[in-house]
Amino acid sequence: MIKKVIEDALNQQLTREMYSSNLYLSMAGFYHSINLSGFANWMRVQAQEEMFHALKLFDYILDRGGKAKIGEISAPPSNWQTPLEAFEASYNHEQLVTGWINELADLAIKEGDHATHILMQWYITEQVEEEATVSDIVARLKLAGDNPSSLFLIDNELKSRTFNPPAA
Ligand code: OFO
């Protein structure tokens, strides 16, 4: 049976993952509105990944005999000044998420909850990959600057991203 303090912290993270999903779907809408359909596709897939992260926590809480509870989810922003600004916001958000995951891993150690600590290793690895991917796109957007053909090339590349559930 899961300890209440761990259950509460996991439910908080579950809610945060759902916010992340909404944030990226909102970014997909933003990119669509400025005719960058590849960026929109990438963010839409990212929203699906975040919902996968949320569902993984949901299932884990249930498997441990806890009660999954969705907390209040605030509305994400819906507008950014430039294509770069939205991706920078995504990078900042991922760094915040990494901090929360690390706190959860620390809590699992403090409470002697080895199963939750193992679960957190999955999220820690996932965060390394996400931060690296987003930071790479931010760097390329900075290089592209105001050059429409460079932006077009990146947009074209991001069109090919599809949702493949990450390995469990
Ligand atoms: Fe973007 O990360 Fe979830 O955890």
The full set of domain ranges for the chain reads: 4-158
Q: What predicted TM-score, i.e. pTM, was given to this entire model? A: 0.96
| pLDDT value at 125 more than 90 | yes
With cut-offs at 50, 70 and 90, classify the pLDDT of residue 1.
confident
Instruction: Say how far apart CA 156 and CA 12 lie, in whole Å.
Output: 36
On the 0-12 / 13-18 / 19+ scale of CB atoms within 10 A, 120 is buried
Asked if residue 130 has its Cβ within 6 Å of ligand 1, the reply is yes
Average pLDDT over residues 139-152: 95
With cut-offs at 50, 70 and 90, classify the pLDDT of residue 110.
very high
How many A from CA of 152 to the centre of ligand 1? 27
What's the pLDDT at 166? 79
Asked if residue 57 has its Cβ within 6 Å of ligand 1, the reply is no
Instruction: Say how far apart CA 80 and CA 89 lie, in whole Å.
Output: 9
Instruction: Say how far apart CA 10 and CA 16 lie, in whole Å.
Output: 10
CATH 1.20.1260.10 assigned to domain 4-158? The reply is: yes
